[in-house]
């Protein structure tokens, strides 16, 4: 999707290539590829085999089979000769090579580049600067939060002559990383947002972290930061410093004023005068971020009056790509915040990964961008839509009508504007489809989203799929590469929703899934999950369905085995994969270790089944007090599987470690581990090195606020007695939603606008009352019900598993990619 194409020889010349092997020296490079699952523009693609957690060299055959013919690889990793007709550039380090190429590309542009770093607020400041600068500049900005070592290279690769200013985000988590980012970005204006505790663990000290971030400032013409955050560190930008903060700063922050219409004003002293801006937000982070943007605009020579006017127009940054249940059994992917080529590419990749519906539909607005580049832009869009599995295209806007011939879809409906689309909506007959909404801001796609989303009460469980992926990778880093990983998605993926989670796990190539019941497995199959699935409680009445959907049963007793073998024999099936469960001390399900002799005799005589794996479950893997017992379980398991293995004479997979086992018992990983609660961000020991992220957040809203005088009571049974005049907020969640009654009468807390407020009185079936006295809270405000779920579980004497799995199915699940 680049106008400028480099020849492969030019590309090879930029990199420190050890050697090259060229089959076609005329090949042209336009797109950088690094993920075999996200290929695009294959004819002009250059694939970098990066050596991260998963070694890109292992996917070269895949990528080659998809038609890519240009590769950057590490010496000695693959046999180049087997890929006929392909170009290879062999380097010492493929990431360095990608960064060199990005730096080279960047050096061809002379328009200003703003580089942003900091602990918090980078993405907001980037997006707000884009909003603020758009009237004058054609701004290119890093997509989403592409700010890593790879993300920055890919962002810079987007520079082209359709833009005249770029905003690039730089994120680091460890010492030494900024140097590489700085070498690529070389910003003209360097911006530091804030410094907080994020990623402290990657640095020897807070000072070292600040020093590292400030490396972005080397050679910048202008430096924008707050001395409150730099803690006296030397900011070495050669040019002008524009600062905000305490006395001595360019913008000396005096005070702020909250207006009662949800806005606030920030007053500063600037060049001896008191001036202010008003923004449509009231939280401290927004004030800080807006002030940072203010300083950048002043550095760029903007007039205070223009700045003040634009600040009133700032819009909330919704970077999320949300997936929700739609009407008529549709699923809606709502990415309607912005529409440009790079965010469209990301959303299309996400669409392609989904399998739960037979039809994929894209609703797309006109693309922003000047008329001079229109032809180019629509050619690029057309290329992007290729091979993305889209069946229906619905485009909205006059430009699409002009360029309609470029889009050759079975079904392509064009509408000149939103009004005509909305009029036609009832006739469009959306049914069992996955619908991606992608629209420029002025088209207000949120209307479509609202109309297509299934109605439900406004309690939602938000599930952050990025966080889930992150947690998966954290645990993967603890197991050896040859050890397989089974992900536990029982009980609706610990409450998080089955196929959305399973789909993500499949995309991330876990080896196995496990569910509790056949029904759950059938649902996954229907949603397009092709991974092997183990069923832990294969009910005798559901075995037909199990076979029909190629699910693999856990066999825990002779009666289950008998039953299953009889069915297989009737059907003439042989070698059906089964998983033998042995009880080594949990005393729940499983063959007794003493059954080994009988089991061997049995299995030797029949051909209907073949043992795929043998496993057991640890009763107290997370508890040091029971380590002796766990060792005993491991020893029993070892003996049992050794003996069985010898008798059967063929190999099978052995596994016993759950989440806690993965962390605390590396010697017990055997051939596979079973990851459960850790995937969902919970279950990390105190001294663990793992950095887990919270996956689910349960949210609701304030339905009513009332003032209640002292001495009155709140709720059923008059349990909540008020000692003082109080503000009572009623929220839309009760025990029928999974909010435990034990949270009543002040035991539980919810968070409103960042403040924790306690429950009052008993929890009702659909509602809960909170004591919001002294807190700024309004009807309609969002309430976080489960924030720190481990703490909440403790408060009522249970475990996070119960709280998560107990969130009722009537609570809508909303998935997003942060
Ligand atoms: C639920 C379950 C797991 C996962 O346990 P976590 O503690 O959530 O990691 C592993 N194995 C079996 C048999 C299970 O039932």
Q: Quick one: pLDDT band at residue 322, thresholds 50, 70, 90?
A: confident
Task: Tally the domains of the chain.
Answer: 5
Q: Are residues 608 and 498 in the same domain?
A: yes
Confidence of residue 686 (pLDDT cuts 50, 70, 90): low
User: Which of 213, 225, 221, 160 is CA-nearest to residue 186?
Assistant: 221
Answer whether residue 127 is part of any domain.
yes
Tell me if residue 716 is catalytic: yes
Q: How far is CA 457 from the centre of its chain?
A: 25
Q: How far is the CA of 678 from the centre of ligand 1 (A)?
A: 10
Asked if 726 and 624 sit in the same domain, the reply is no
Q: How confident is the model at residue 650 (pLDDT cuts 50, 70, 90)?
A: very high
Active-site entry in 3, 246, 509, 716: 716
Share of the chain above pLDDT 70, in %: 97
Arithmetic mean of pLDDT, 395-418: 89
Least confident among 244-258, 433-447, 500-514, 541-555: 433-447
Of 76, 97, 118, the residue that ends a domain is 97
Please name every residue paired with 169 in a beta bridge, in sequence order, or none if there are none: 116
Residue located via tokens 């606020």 = 705
Using DSSP bridges, classify how beta strands 460-464 and 696-708 pair: parallel, antiparallel or unpaired.
antiparallel
Q: Which of 262, 282, 311 is the last residue of a domain?
A: 311
The answer on 654 and 540 residing in a single domain is yes
Residue 752, domain member (yes or no): yes
Confirm whether 687 is domain-assigned: no
Residue 530 CA to residue 715 CA, distance in Å, equals 50
Q: Lay out the sheet containing 45-48: strands in order across.
A: 17-21, 87-91, 70-74, 45-48, 31-33
Q: Which two tokens stand for residue 787?
A: 């924030």
Q: What is the arithmetic mean of pLDDT over 569-594?
A: 96
Banded model confidence at residue 241, pLDDT cuts 50, 70, 90: very high
Which ligand 1 atom sits closest to the C-alpha of 554?
Answer: 13
Helix (H) / strand (E) element for 427: namely helix 418-428
Average of per-residue pLDDT across 35-45: 87
Residue 408 phi/psi, 5-degree rounding, is -105, 85
- The residue whose CB lies within 8 Å of the most ligand 1 atoms, and thus the one to mutate among 637, 658, 659, 803, is 658
> Which tops the pLDDT comparison, 586 or 375?
586
Together in a domain, 449 and 401:
yes
**103 assigned to some structural domain:** no
Please report, for the domain that includes residue 20, its CATH number. Answer: 3.40.1390.10
346 and 293 in one domain?
no
**CA-to-CA separations, 606 to 317, 337, 555, 620, 651, in angstroms, rounded:** 62, 60, 15, 35, 17
Average pLDDT, the chain: 91
Q: Average pLDDT of 558-586?
A: 96
Spell out the residues 6+ positions from residue 205 whose beta carbon is closer than 8 angstroms to its own. none
Split at pLDDT 50, 70, 90, the class of 700 is very high
Ligand 1: nearest atom to the Cα of 615: 13
Q: Do residue 410 and residue 428 come from a single domain?
A: yes
**What's the pLDDT at 1?**
43
Q: Is the CB of 118 under 6 A from ligand 1?
A: no
| Nearest-CA residue for atom 12 of ligand 1 | 617
Helix axes 94-106, 149-157, angle to 10 degrees: 40
Q: Is 60 exceeded by the pLDDT of residue 522? A: yes
Min mean pLDDT across 166-170, 397-401, 456-460 is at 456-460
Identify the pLDDT of residue 455: 62
pLDDT band at 336, cuts 50/70/90? confident
Both 256 and 289 in a single domain?
A: yes
pLDDT bucket at 384, cuts 50 / 70 / 90: confident
- Look up residue 519 and give its two tokens: 């029904």
Terminal CA-to-CA distance of the chain, rounded, Å?
Answer: 24
Mean pLDDT of 307-325: 86
Band (pLDDT 50/70/90 cuts) for residue 342 is confident
677 Cβ below 6 A of ligand 1: yes
What crossing angle do the helices spanning 518-526 and 498-507 adopt, rounded to 10°? 60
Q: For residues 782 and 699, is the Cβ–Cβ distance under 8 A?
A: yes
- The per-residue pLDDT for 457 is 58
In a domain, 688, yes or no: no
Greatest alpha-carbon pair distance for the chain in Å reads 94
Rounded percentage of the chain residues whose pLDDT exceeds 90: 69
Where residue 517 sits, what CATH number does that domain have?
3.20.20.10
Is 637 within the bounds of a domain?
A: yes
Half-sphere exposure of 286 (CA within 13 A, CB side): 20
**Judgement on whether residues 80 and 216 belong to the same structural domain of the protein:** no
Q: Could you give phi then psi for residue 401, rounded to 5 degrees?
A: -65, -45
Lowest-pLDDT choice from 90-104, 202-216, 566-580, 675-689: 675-689
627 and 497 in a common domain = yes
515 and 386 in a common domain: no
Protein residue with least CA distance to atom 10, ligand 1: 658
Angle of helix 177-185 relative to helix 94-106, nearest 10 degrees? Answer: 30
| Statement to judge: residues 523 and 658 lie in one domain | yes
Active site residue 724: no
Residue 379 has pLDDT above 60, yes or no: yes
- What pLDDT sits at residue 687? 57
pLDDT confidence bin for 685, thresholds 50/70/90: low
The DSSP letter of residue 52 is S
DSSP 177: H
- Find residue 394's DSSP bridge partners: 363, 413
Averaged pLDDT, 681-688? 71
User: Is 411 buried (19+), middle (13-18) or exposed (0-12) by CB count in 10 A?
Assistant: exposed
- Strand pairing of 672-675 and 696-708? unpaired
Mark whether 638 and 499 lie in a shared domain.
yes
| 60, 78 Cβ separation under 8 angstroms | yes
At residue 199, the pLDDT reads: 76
What is the helix (H) or strand (E) element at residue 171, kind and residue range?
none
Mean pLDDT on 469-483:
92
Residue 528 has pLDDT above 70, yes or no: yes
C-alpha–C-alpha distance, residues 92 and 73, integer Å: 8
196: pLDDT strictly greater than 90: no
Q: Is 222 in the pocket of ligand 1 (CB under 6 A)?
A: no
In this prediction, residue 372 has a pLDDT band, given cuts at 50, 70 and 90, of confident
In the predicted model, is pLDDT for residue 454 greater than 80? Answer: no
Whole-number Å distance between alpha carbons of 64 and 23:
14
Cα angle 791, 794, 797; round to 5: 160
CB 351 within 8 A of CB 389: yes
Q: Ligand 1 center to residue 292 CA distance, Å?
A: 47
- Cβ pair 761, 745 in contact under 8 A: yes
- Model confidence at 663: pLDDT above 60: yes
Does the residue 528 lie in any domain? yes
Residue 690 placed within a domain: no
Residue 56 lies in domain: 6-97
Measured N-to-C along each axis, helices 465-476 and 498-507 cross at an angle, to the nearest 10 degrees, of 50
- What is the pLDDT, as a whole number, of residue 2? 46
Q: Quick check: 456 pLDDT over 60?
A: no
- Does ligand 1 have an atom closer than 6 angstroms to the CB of 768? no
Residue 341 pLDDT class (50, 70, 90 cuts): confident
pLDDT score for 441: 75
Average pLDDT over residues 121-137: 93
Catalytic residue among 490, 517, 680, 817: 490
Final residue of a structural domain among 638, 655, 680: 680
């Amino acid at each position: 999707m680049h106008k400028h194409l480099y020849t492969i020889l030019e590309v090879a010349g930029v990199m420190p290539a050890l050697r090259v092997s060229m089959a076609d020296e005329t090949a042209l490079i336009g797109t950088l590829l690094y993920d075999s699952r996200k290929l695009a523009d294959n004819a002009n693609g250059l694939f970098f085999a990066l050596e991260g957690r998963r070694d890109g060299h292992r996917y070269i055959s895949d990528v080659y089979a998809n038609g890519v013919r240009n590769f950057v690889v590490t010496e000695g990793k693959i046999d180049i000769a087997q890929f006929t007709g392909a170009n290879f550039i062999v380097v010492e380090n493929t990431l360095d090579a990608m960064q060199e190429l990005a730096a080279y590309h960047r050096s061809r542009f002379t328009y200003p580049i703003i580089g942003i770093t900091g602990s918090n607020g980078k993405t907001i400041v980037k997006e707000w600067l884009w909003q603020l600068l758009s009237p004058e500049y054609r701004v290119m900005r890093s997509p989403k939060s592409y700010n890593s070592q790879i993300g920055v290279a890919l962002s810079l690769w987007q520079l082209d002559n359709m833009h005249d200013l770029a905003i690039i985000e730089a994120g680091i988590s460890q010492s030494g990383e900024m140097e590489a980012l700085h070498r690529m970005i070389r910003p003209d204006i360097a911006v530091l947002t804030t410094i907080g505790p994020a990623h402290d663990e990657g640095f020897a000290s807070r000072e070292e972290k600040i020093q590292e971030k400030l490396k972005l400032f080397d050679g910048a013409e202008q430096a924008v930061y707050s001395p409150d955050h730099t803690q006296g560190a030397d900011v070495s930008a050669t040019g002008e410093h524009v600062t905000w903060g305490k006395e001595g700063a360019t913008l000396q922050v005096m005070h702020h004023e909250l207006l009662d219409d949800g806005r606030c004003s920030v007053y500063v002293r600037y060049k001896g005068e008191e001036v202010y801006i008003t923004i449509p937000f009231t939280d401290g982070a927004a004030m800080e971020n807006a002030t940072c943007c203010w300083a950048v605009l002043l550095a760029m020579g903007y007039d205070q009056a223009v700045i003040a006017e634009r600040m009133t127009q700032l819009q909330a940054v919704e970077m999320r790509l949300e997936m929700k249940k739609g009407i008529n059994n549709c699923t809606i992917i709502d990415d309607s915040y912005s529409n440009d080529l790079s965010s469209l590419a990301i959303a299309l990749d996400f669409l392609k990964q989904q399998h739960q519906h037979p039809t994929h539909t894209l609703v797309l607005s006109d693309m922003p961008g000047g008329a001079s580049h229109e032809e180019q832009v629509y050619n690029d869009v057309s290329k992007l839509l290729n091979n993305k599995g889209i069946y229906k295209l619905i485009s909205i806007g006059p430009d699409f009508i002009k360029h309609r011939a470029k889009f050759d879809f079975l079904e392509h409906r064009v509408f000149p504007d939103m009004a005509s689309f909305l009029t036609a909506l009832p006739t469009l007959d959306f049914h069992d489809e996955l619908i991606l909404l992608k629209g420029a801001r002025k088209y207000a796609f949120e209307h479509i989203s609202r109309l297509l989303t299934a109605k439900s009460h406004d309690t939602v469980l938000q599930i952050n799929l990025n966080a889930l992926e992150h947690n998966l990778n954290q645990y993967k880093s603890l197991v050896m590469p040859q050890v397989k990983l089974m992900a536990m998605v029982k009980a609706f993926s610990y409450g998080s929703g089955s196929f959305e989670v399973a789909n993500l796990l499949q995309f991330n190539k876990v080896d196995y899934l496990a569910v509790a019941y056949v029904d759950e497995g059938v649902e996954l199959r229907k949603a397009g999950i092709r991974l092997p699935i183990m069923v832990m409680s294969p009910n005798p009445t559901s075995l037909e369905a199990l076979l029909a959907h190629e699910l693999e049963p856990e066999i825990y007793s002779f009666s289950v085995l008998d039953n299953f073998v009889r069915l297989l024999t009737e059907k003439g099936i042989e070698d059906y994969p089964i998983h033998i469960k042995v009880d080594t001390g949990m005393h729940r399900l499983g063959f007794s270790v003493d059954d080994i002799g009988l089991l061997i005799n049995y299995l030797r005589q029949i051909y209907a089944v073949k043992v795929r794996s043998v496993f057991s479950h640890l009763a107290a893997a997370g508890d040091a007090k029971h380590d002796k017992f766990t060792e005993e379980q491991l020893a029993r398991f070892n003996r049992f599987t050794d003996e069985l293995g010898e008798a059967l004479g063929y190999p099978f997979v052995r596994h016993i470690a759950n989440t806690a086992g993965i962390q605390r018992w590396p010697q017990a990983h055997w051939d596979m581990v079973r990851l459960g609660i850790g995937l969902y961000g919970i279950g990390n020991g105190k001294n663990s090195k793992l950095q887990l992220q919270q996956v689910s957040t349960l949210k609701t809203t304030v339905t009513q606020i009332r003032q209640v005088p002292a001495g009155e009571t709140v709720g059923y049974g008059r349990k909540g007695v008020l000692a003082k005049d109080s503000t009572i907020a009623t929220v839309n969640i009760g025990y029928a939603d999974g909010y435990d009654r034990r949270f009543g009468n002040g035991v539980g807390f919810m968070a409103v606008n960042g403040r924790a407020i306690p429950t009052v009185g008993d929890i009702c079936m659909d509602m809960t009352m909170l004591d919001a006295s002294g807190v700024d809270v309004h009807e309609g405000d969002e309430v976080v019900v489960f924030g720190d779920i481990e703490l909440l579980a403790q408060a009522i004497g249970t475990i996070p598993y119960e709280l998560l799995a107990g969130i009722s199915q009537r609570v809508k699940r909303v998935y997003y990619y942060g």
